[in-house]
Amino acid sequence: MSLIRCTNGHMFSSRRHRNVCPYCNVMVEQEQRSNGQQTTVDVDDKTMPYLGEMDGIDPVTGWLVCIEGPQMGRDYRILSEKNFIGRAEDMHIRIVGDNSISKRNHAVIVYDPKKRNFYLLPGDASGLAYLNNEAIYTPTELAAYDVIQLGGSMFLFIPLCGVHFEWENNQSEE
Ligand SMILES: [Zn+2]
């Protein structure tokens, strides 16, 4: 299989994204692949990505920025369509260190590339998600600098795509 895992635990397709995690931009050393051959590769011999090649990158559409909680100061990339939030390794937006955030699907942030807007959806976990201090039970449209509370952590929502900006070629047929 071409699934690989970054140091933050995201699983992604190396065929599509090469060795750069689309969620956190961490580069993954693929040494478990060539066991036996290149065990002497060290930090001073890192393979750099080709800067000209953009085809493996899933463009960022916005960010969540933690402004309160164990991850204060950290930002999380929001990609197109559904972004599942939780503590588990396979979550698109993985928030560790706050055990009052559910492991899986505490909430979902959606970027709709057709309508060019963002929504916050309640997850199917037991924890509530709050938008500007109101618990959300139905999909609710997000605006810039909205405050999202999950467990004991607060996040600012910062959009990139929308009325002011959109990536040109995101109509890639899959
Ligand atoms: Zn990652």
In tens, the pLDDT along 30-86 reads 655 444 443 333 444 444 444 444 466 789 999 999 999 999 999 999 999 999 999
Please indicate, yes or no, whether the overall pTM of this predicted structure exceeds 0.85.
no
Distance 20 CA to ligand 1 centre (A): 8
Distance (angstroms) between ligand 1 centre and the Cα of 95 equals 11
H or E stretch at 129: strand 129-131
What digits encode the pLDDT tens for the residues 24-35?
888 888 655 444
**Ligand 1 geometric centre to CA of 94 (Å):** 9
In the chain, which residues fall in CATH 2.60.200.20?
Answer: 62-159
Distance 9 CA to ligand 1 centre (A): 6
The C-alpha atoms of residue 173 and residue 50 are separated, in whole angstroms, by: 24
Q: Contact, 140 vs 119, CB < 8 A?
A: yes
- A 10 A CB-CB count for 174 gives 3
Distance 120 CA to ligand 1 centre (A): 21
Rounded CA gap, 123 and 50, in Å?
38
Q: Which helix (H) or strand (E) holds 77?
A: strand 75-78
C-alpha–C-alpha distance, residues 83 and 60, integer Å: 12
CA 28 to chain centre: 16
pLDDT recorded at residue 3? 85
Between the CA of 69 and the centroid of ligand 1 the distance, in Å, is 20
Torsion, Cα 77 72 165 121, to 10 degrees, reads 70
CA of 24 to the centre of ligand 1 (A): 4
Residues 87-112: tens digit of each pLDDT: 999 999 999 999 999 999 999 999 99
According to the model, what pLDDT value does residue 68 have?
98
Query: In the CATH scheme, what architecture does the domain 62-159 have?
Result: Sandwich (2.60)
Q: What pLDDT is attached to residue 44? A: 45
134 CA from centroid of ligand 1 (Å): 30
Q: In a 3-state reduction of DSSP, which class is residue 154?
A: strand
Q: Is the pLDDT of residue 124 over 50?
A: yes
